[in-house]
Structure 1
């Protein structure tokens, strides 16, 4: 095990603009969104009809797994002292909450989560 000290990244990624800057404010927001996890309140999920709730959660999970993969790839390219990433707790919004628990138990959602986390794990161990 490597005992060297490290600086870690967690919670929110604040992007450094490219050398020529972002072309528009919208481009800057989209780049930031791609690197950060998104979430929904349990109250907002409760207010949705079941099909809309499932679609919302699936969209959040797909986005968050992709963002986590991008975070891992970005951290992997940093100098060794900066190769530490704390995975945020909202990767799977509502996972333990009654409003979403049954959705995460569905076979299709389980496959999505398991495959996404497996990709993230492989990338982190590379």
Structure 2
């Protein structure tokens, strides 16, 4: 009886731990593509634009620290950055008006998405919480 309870408790805790990684946003710099996985299931695949030649999109694993529905860049002529998800300093995932450039490096370092996709991602991060979201940027 105690053994059955212990097994049930371990399974319950393991299940809770598996859900702690609710949202994973993977960005592949070489493919200029983003995959969004919710609960371990890929739900979206979108083209992105990351850093153009001479600029850098930082590689690594991050947790978002700030969400802003509309941000204006203090570094780049007040450029609009709708649906911004900041993950490292001034680096963010955000919508862009330059949708024709998605799928190729074009940014100063941020990760650009079509505005409608940025809004979907922003809502997903809000729904699960920033602490339950991981942003993985790889070469």
Which TM class, normalised by the smaller chain length?
under 0.3
Higher strand share: 2
TM-score (norm 2): 0.26
Higher-Rg member (1/2) = 2
Q: Which has the higher contact order (CA 8 A, sep 6+)?
A: 1
Higher helix share: 1
